[in-house]
Structure 1
Amino acid sequence: MDLSSKKLFSHKIKTAQEILDVIGARPRNHKVIMCHGTFDVVHPGHIRHMLYAKTKADILIASLTADQHITKGDMRPYVPEDLRAINLAALEMVDYVLIDHDPTPLKNLGKLKPDFFAKGYEYTAGAINLKTQGEIDVLDSYGGEMIFTPGDIVYSSSALIELSPPSIAIEKLMTLMEGEGITFKDLRNALAVLRDVSVHVVGDTIVDSYTYCSMIGGMTKTPTMSVRYEKKVDYTGGAAVVAKHLCAAGANVTFSTVLGNDEYKNFVLNDLEISGVNCLPIIDETRPTTNKNAIVAETYRLLKVDTLDNRSISEKITERLRKQINDVDAQVVVFSDFRHGIFNRGTIPTLSAAIPNGAYKVADSQVASRWGNILEFEEFDLITPNEREARFALGDQDSVVRPLAGELYRRAKCKTLILKCGARGIIVYRSSKLSFRAFFVVESFADRVVDPVGAGDALLAYSTLAMAVTKNEVISSILGNIAAGVECEHEGNWLVTPDQVLKKIDAIEKIVNYGLPS
């Protein structure tokens, strides 16, 4: 699908008032029939339903439920409302398409007053439910009639999607970009100005170690596994690698952290210096530099040995961090929380209050094995939790993802929420003056997943910098998700560069243009 697809059918996609202006008020010389549904995937059952409806009237209006009111199924709707409207408008038997922004079609039924309202045959089974009765009551109020279409073939869009989700990531992306007036040139322009944004990262440093061994066997007298040591490799992780990702994306990065007085401290400081990160370490003689050592044999992780102290930092160190946050002149401040001493209920209010006025405030909570709560970073400009962290913060293990994201956005009082959903991509909620697209989905751009480690860090880096320079949630989300896709295609916590993101943008545009030069 190219950007002109919607234009081909825009004369069919109208508001309720626009349709009323065309068809006129009752009584009419021509018959009007209306059908309503989600139409997440248009399948043969839908086609038969609408073909039959068209035989009963001169004009067929297809009404579809807006994204915001679809809460059935995970990551639904799978197809966004603009693209669903295009799908229906492309059908010859459909005369007009209406995106209904109310939870039920009752208001538009009363406004348009169609002669007939078509429902699927499955609605005749058993007692009439309350929703159908409400529709009948509106029809009776002006003399309309309910028609149940023959339905020897009945499909469920949700069932079809669960069986085999259609691959429409590019189509969904283009629909989103077209609806927001964004072009590939805008993405490239944004990428070009990420450089030199000043960012202050504050958070827990972790040294991730991998001790590689080979299996020898087990002990005969005790259930003890025996391995032979081969090598040990250390990586700078935690908030430190977030700082490195931002630096690789082109930012001028200052990093405030707490380290122990040990060899890992020296390793971290040397690595950050090589990476171009300006580190302002606070040395705590009473704790070690956090180290997480995975014992690996034949690609299997046998054991993880952590050397750490998760006590809250002292009041003295809290004050030194507060002063650094207040004194560093940065356009963006990122709190990267791994719950290893810096951030907790006692320190977060103090450190948050120290952020200079006008700085763009970002919080990321990565608590794989610790207790943390993204809701403690209240009223930040951007938060980027994953689904697990969102469920923990809300105490909700049952809701499907989209309503879960909406509730987290409301409770966090943030301006923008990017909820990371792994291979399914991201859901974005934003504060917008627009009456539509208060949330949107961007699917993953990883062509082949080699290693997802670091994808969230890459997304955070590019989304944060793009928001700082463009103030556009859609551009920042797309760039962040593309960077995450690049990250997934490499082993380990790969530092994604703007050139790599640009290459991925070029590849996506080539697909959109069917391989033709842009």
Structure 2
Amino acid sequence: MTLDGRRFATNSAARSSSAFASTPDWAASCNGCAGRSPKRRRRSTLMAVESPHITAVADDKIVSLSDLRARIGLARGHRRVVHCHGVFDLLHIGHIRHLQRARRLGDLLVVTVTPNRYVNKGPDRPAFDERLRAEAIAALDCVDLVAVNRWPTAIETIGYLRPDCFVKGAEYRDPDRDVTGAIAREREAVESIGGRLEFTDELTSSSSRLINRYLSGLSEATRRYLTGLAQRHDSDEVLAHLDRARELSALVIGEAIVDEYQYCQAIGKSSKEPVLTVRQNRLEKHAGGILAVANQVAGFAGRTTMLTMIGAESDQARFVERQLRPAVDAVYVRRRDAPTIVKRRYIDGYFFQKLFEVYEGDDAPLNADEAAQLNAAIAARAPEHDLVVVNDYGHGMIGRKAADEIVDRARFLALNVQCNAGNLGYHTVSKYRRADLICVAENEIRVEGRNRHGALEPLIEKVSRRLDCPQVIITRGSRGCVCYDRQEGFTKVPAVAGQVRDRMGAGDAFVSVAALCAARGAPLELAGMIGNAAGAEAVATVGHRRPIDRARLCRHIECLLK
């Protein structure tokens, strides 16, 4: 047929891609597209071409999950029901052959599609909305019915639909390679209802690889770096370093901070003063500072202990305790004459624009009794742990004697010494005599070196020598990080963040996972890459609204390295 002066094939594979009809060369075999120049194709990658007939056919096949269950119930007993499930973010020939083979295993092929909110392949995924993904699947002749799932995986769906056969691709045959652990539970689910799990041995391809290459928001330089990294270290090797963090016991030390987001509505200029007037709306509170680090570390380490300082007031103490993951063993030093630190950010709720910030707290050093309690806790706890992670926010908790105790007692010491509005110019990493890993931001090492504009590498080497620290990672925001290993030299690792919702908390997420990897002997470049992926997960949400999910991070890394 002809549409806008261009010809489109009308076979079933063409219909499967009707929502994304203008595609690169790699998808030509999937959609039967012909007669377009490469130049035209690149310019209109996401153009939608609609055919009323094709859309009607697809719409007839797309049903709600409850309707799908009812139709399967009518077919049960005289038709064999086959169930496939997946994201199907970019329909390709591997998907098509998989579904065609699955259809031959029964009489009725039903497909469930992962909802947008549960796609765990990185902050910018899925590339296509759940409705478009369902339409693409429904346009295939081999598929009878399609529904968008309600749950993160097919485990609950299998029990809800009760198919005779659940079918996965050959890449899931080895359950040890499934970082989510879902395939083993899916097998249990289908066998518990008397069905069976089958695998197709068709052409294996990857939506993630195609999206990374053609539709990703990452720069060309970043894509080239990731391709080269994948050739040197496959995803199994990279994730093995993260997995070995389960063998570690970690002690995290630093100030507890309650991060508040006070959302406002801008009203206008005050009639009497040249100031902005806002109306307060809702308040959102997060467990920040070392509380956030403890929650992040607890998601990856085998055992996590947190040593922190909070105020004596009961309300904030209860909030802090409720926000910690159950796996965190908390040890508190309570300040009798100072509140728990609160950092309140006033936000224009419409644009999520930060207006200003207010600190509540006392940055004075601990009194003698409190300092003695902290030092005793460090002396008792640090030797019991494989790794000590210090996030020193410079708000009076860790004095010189406490820093010395940490240095003397830690088996492996990872330091993150932060500059902020309350301590800039007074607080640097040289407060500590030594470390095994230093992880700070570029502005923080420049303050340490009193060098605002010079080359970064000499500063890193100077700090490494002064603190007898063999490994240093400098984070640089959108420019990624610079990793220095005394034996291997310098490596630059690009950032992998796409959408940036809120930068606050990205550094805490980075150091949490990078320190664990470095402590288990991972090459520092891989620790930096994993840290960048964790940072990308962190900036995609508001503050410390939720800790990084291990399975989600692993899937993100897998997708980056495809």
Q: What is the TM-score of this pair, normalised by structure 1? A: 0.60
**What residue in structure 1 maps to residue 108 of structure 2?**
none
Residue aligned with 1:385, SS: strand
Alignment of 1:292-331 (within 5 A): 292-298=343-349, 299-328=352-381, 329-331=384-386
Structure 1 unaligned spans of 5+:
1-164, 511-518
Alignment of 1:342-357 (within 5 A): 342-345=397-400, 347-353=402-408, 355-356=409-410
**What residue in structure 1 maps to residue 295 of structure 2?**
244
2-structure distance, mates of 1:447, 1:218? 35
1:100-135 CA-to-partner distances (Å, cap 9, x unmatched) read: xxxxxxxxxxxxxxxxxxxxxxxxxxxxxxxxxxxx
- Confirm or deny that 1:474 pairs with 2:525: yes
One-letter amino acid of the structure 2 residue matched with residue 459 of structure 1: F
Displacement after TM superposition at 1:232 (Å): 1.6
Residue aligned with 2:354, SS: strand
2-structure distance, mates of 1:275, 1:396? 43
Counterparts in 2 of 1:344 and 1:167: CA distance versus 1, 3 Å: farther
Note if contact 1:463-1:479 (Cα within 8 Å) is conserved in structure 2: yes
Q: Please identify, of 472-481 and 195-204, the stretch whose mean Cα deviation from structure 2 is larger.
A: 472-481
Displacement after TM superposition at 1:229 (Å): 2.3
Alignment of 1:254-333 (within 5 A): 254-262=305-313, 263-272=315-324, 274-298=325-349, 299-328=352-381, 329-333=384-388
- Confirm or deny that 1:451 pairs with 2:502: yes
- Confirm or deny that 1:484 pairs with 2:535: yes
1-structure distance, mates of 2:227, 2:479? 17
Counterparts in 2 of 1:451 and 1:217: CA distance versus 1, 3 Å: closer
**What residue in structure 1 maps to residue 485 of structure 2?**
430
One-letter amino acid of the structure 2 residue matched with residue 269 of structure 1: E
- Confirm or deny that 1:189 pairs with 2:240: yes
- Confirm or deny that 1:231 pairs with 2:282: yes
1:126-165 CA-to-partner distances (Å, cap 9, x unmatched) read: xxxxxxxxxxxxxxxxxxxxxxxxxxxxxxxxxxxxxxx9
1:379-401 CA-to-partner distances (Å, cap 9, x unmatched) read: 20011010010010111012133
**What residue in structure 2 maps to residue 462 of structure 1?**
513
Alignment of 1:140-159 (within 5 A): none
**What residue in structure 1 maps to residue 548 of structure 2?**
496
1-structure distance, mates of 2:490, 2:274? 53
One-letter amino acid of the structure 1 residue matched with residue 252 of structure 2: V
2-structure distance, mates of 1:375, 1:177? 36
Structure 2 unaligned spans of 5+:
1-217
1:345-401 CA-to-partner distances (Å, cap 9, x unmatched) read: 454224433x24xx2111101222113111222320011010010010111012133
**What residue in structure 2 maps to residue 375 of structure 1?**
430
Note if contact 1:384-1:460 (Cα within 8 Å) is conserved in structure 2: yes
Counterparts in 2 of 1:301 and 1:491: CA distance versus 1, 3 Å: closer
2-structure distance, mates of 1:297, 1:449? 17
- Identity percentage of aligned residues: 24
Counterparts in 2 of 1:405 and 1:459: CA distance versus 1, 3 Å: same
Note if contact 1:451-1:492 (Cα within 8 Å) is conserved in structure 2: yes
Displacement after TM superposition at 1:500 (Å): 1.7
1:144-199 CA-to-partner distances (Å, cap 9, x unmatched) read: xxxxxxxxxxxxxxxxxxxxx97222433454676xx6433211222222225211
- Confirm or deny that 1:338 pairs with 2:393: yes
Match of 2:457 among 391, 399, 402: 402
**What residue in structure 1 maps to residue 413 of structure 2?**
361
Note if contact 1:405-1:427 (Cα within 8 Å) is conserved in structure 2: no
Match of 2:445 among 390, 401, 410: 390
Note if contact 1:173-1:442 (Cα within 8 Å) is conserved in structure 2: no
Note if contact 1:428-1:477 (Cα within 8 Å) is conserved in structure 2: yes
Displacement after TM superposition at 1:225 (Å): 4.2
1-structure distance, mates of 2:278, 2:502? 26
Note if contact 1:381-1:415 (Cα within 8 Å) is conserved in structure 2: yes
1:452-507 CA-to-partner distances (Å, cap 9, x unmatched) read: 22221221111111122235323322222222222233333342222122212221
Residue aligned with 1:302, SS: strand
Residue aligned with 1:341, SS: coil
Displacement after TM superposition at 1:239 (Å): 1.5
1-structure distance, mates of 2:229, 2:464? 21
One-letter amino acid of the structure 2 residue matched with residue 458 of structure 1: A
2-structure distance, mates of 1:301, 1:482? 25
**What residue in structure 1 maps to residue 256 of structure 2?**
205
**What residue in structure 2 maps to residue 505 of structure 1?**
557
- Confirm or deny that 1:168 pairs with 2:217: no
Note if contact 1:244-1:275 (Cα within 8 Å) is conserved in structure 2: no
**What residue in structure 2 maps to residue 411 of structure 1?**
466
2-structure distance, mates of 1:440, 1:376? 26
2-structure distance, mates of 1:428, 1:417? 6
2-structure distance, mates of 1:368, 1:320? 26
One-letter amino acid of the structure 1 residue matched with residue 365 of structure 2: S
Q: Please identify, of 342-351 and 325-334, the stretch whose mean Cα deviation from structure 2 is larger.
A: 342-351
Residue aligned with 2:376, SS: helix
1-structure distance, mates of 2:529, 2:444? 22
Q: What is the TM-score of this pair, normalised by structure 2? A: 0.56
Counterparts in 2 of 1:315 and 1:174: CA distance versus 1, 3 Å: farther
One-letter amino acid of the structure 2 residue matched with residue 364 of structure 1: N
Match of 1:421 among 476, 489, 500: 476
2-structure distance, mates of 1:268, 1:384? 26
Aligned length: 336
